Amino acid sequence: MGNERVIIRMQKNSSNNDLAKLFHTLEKKGFMARYVPYRDDCLVMVEGRPDRSLALQSIPGVREVVTTSTPFPLASLESTNGKASAVEIIPGLKIGGGEKTIMAGPCAVENRDQILECAKAVKKAGAVILRGGAFKPRTNPYSFQGLGSEGIALLVEARKATGLPIISEVMSTEAIEWMLPHVDILQIGARNMQNFPLLKALGKVDKPVMLKRSPMATVDEWLQSAEYILLGGNNRVILCERGIRGVETRTRNTLDLNIVPLVKSLSHLPVIVDPSHGTGIRELVAPMSLAALASGADGLIIEVHPRPEEALSDGMQSLSVPEFTSLMQSISRLIPALAVPEGSEKKCTSVTVM
């Protein structure tokens, strides 16, 4: 899977002249090079495996030359030398890097009272990010499709009232421009995991992006979708597992927690778990939230509704405020027990696959 590829990392103080020389050397030998501004680094990616005689390492400005065969070099754990990333959401709030981040809120923004009431309640219970859908992808064209821009305006109002940063789904490239100033994290829904024009467009924005896994995607496909965003230059990518098509029909989806430690052995990107869509059943949300954190997830995104029985969408899987509050208490008991005592840590360096 994936061909060989060379990644060249330039020195911080390298000049345009150095870069030009490098490209010249490569192209003379027929290699396709691609310039990628990535994080603070300047990278050059080369398809194929340039011969040692090119002596790339000795070209001025070159810091490091890495050969890789992973199909997702920028998302790979190798690219950070095994260090997990932390993604800054707003100053002082990060996802990843040891934090356990809880996002909560209604499936869809329905009206002013609902979102404000819900935002205050989830904040009180301990959530640090507010979720809420304004544009809802719906299987049926006749179903409620969300409040649209009005929904975004109400989310902004809820942020003002609570201070919670907001995450909301963006369904099309057209919508990016005007959602951008208003939301703190742009979510890519599971159905759009391989909407490549959308991924490319989000590679160009200066906001964190949360990429949900498609219910039929392998981890390799998912990380390659993340690679589209990273390759565009946006390094603030967060992954979100929300359940696959499994065998059981009583649950809406099958939450695949295996992939939490699997992703962490392959990629530096943080992983959030969505137990609401991952189960589709309110009573399963709490135990699966604890299981997700125990499996190593960096956080959760949970649907909460002040009156789940009246919700316009996903009521069956939304927690009431008391249920969410009780879950947050369980979580606060769990997290210290998951911490590894100092001196006893033993990092898995690689995953062997059967």
Nearer residue to a second copy within complex by CB, 123 or 252: 252
Give helix 112-125 / helix 321-338 axis angle, nearest 10°.
30
Specify whether the CB–CB gap between 269 and 235 falls below 8 A: no
Q: Of 30, 206, 245, 343, which one interacts with a second copy (CB under 8 A)?
A: 245
Binding mask 164-183 for a second copy (x = CB under 8 A): -------xxxx---------
> DSSP readout, 3-56?
--EEEEEEPTT--HHHHHHHHHHHHHTT--EEEEEETTEEEEEEES---GGG-G
Give the residues across from 319 on adjacent strands.
304
Residue 100 DSSP SS3: coil
Minimum separation from the CB atom of position 15 to a second copy (A):
27
In 3D space, the residue among 167, 336, 314 whose CA is nearest the CA of residue 238 turns out to be 167
- 184 is a site residue for a second copy (CB under 8 A): no
- 261 is a site residue for a second copy (CB under 8 A): yes
Alpha-carbon distance 221 to 64, whole Å? 27
Query: Number of residues in contact with a second copy, rule: CB under 8 A?
Result: 90
Q: What are residue 18's phi and psi, to 5 degrees?
A: -60, -45
- Piece in contact with a second copy (CB under 8 A), picked from 10-18, 51-59, 154-162, 209-217: 209-217
Q: Of 4, 60, 246, 310, which one interacts with a second copy (CB under 8 A)?
A: 246
Nearer residue to a second copy within complex by CB, 81 or 142: 142
Q: Of 79, 192, 235, 267, which one interacts with a second copy (CB under 8 A)?
A: 192
User: Which residues between 48 and 67 bind a second copy (CB under 8 A)?
Assistant: none
User: How many Cβ atoms are within 10 Å of 210's Cβ, its own excluded?
Assistant: 25
64: left (phi over 0), alpha (psi -120 to 50) or beta: beta
- Piece in contact with a second copy (CB under 8 A), picked from 19-27, 89-97, 180-188, 216-224: 216-224
Nearer residue to a second copy within complex by CB, 25 or 145: 145
User: Which residues between 284 and 303 bind a second copy (CB under 8 A)?
Assistant: 284, 287-288, 290-296
- 140 is a site residue for a second copy (CB under 8 A): yes
Q: Of 45, 62, 134, 183, which one interacts with a second copy (CB under 8 A)?
A: 45
User: Which residues between 64 and 93 bind a second copy (CB under 8 A)?
Assistant: 71-72
Q: What is the dihedral of CA 243, 208, 73, 233, to 10 degrees?
A: 150
DSSP letter (8 states) at residue 265:
H
Q: Of 50, 96, 151, 278, which one interacts with a second copy (CB under 8 A)?
A: 278
User: Which residues between 218 and 237 bind a second copy (CB under 8 A)?
Assistant: 218-221, 224-225, 227-228, 231
Residues 6 or more apart from 129 whose CB is under 8 A from it? Answer: 89, 93, 101, 102, 103, 104, 164, 165, 166, 167, 184, 185
**Residue 81 to residues 42, 78, 84, 92: CA-CA distances in angstroms?**
17, 5, 9, 25
Alpha-carbon distance 351 to 354, whole Å? 10
- 271 is a site residue for a second copy (CB under 8 A): no
- 313 is a site residue for a second copy (CB under 8 A): no
- 348 is a site residue for a second copy (CB under 8 A): yes
- 110 is a site residue for a second copy (CB under 8 A): no
- Piece in contact with a second copy (CB under 8 A), picked from 48-56, 90-98, 124-132, 140-148: 140-148
Q: Of 95, 130, 211, 255, which one interacts with a second copy (CB under 8 A)?
A: 255
C-alpha gyration radius of the chain = 22
DSSP letter (8 states) at residue 107:
S
Nearer residue to a second copy within complex by CB, 50 or 278: 278
Minimum separation from the CB atom of position 83 to a second copy (A):
17
Nearer residue to a second copy within complex by CB, 162 or 318: 318
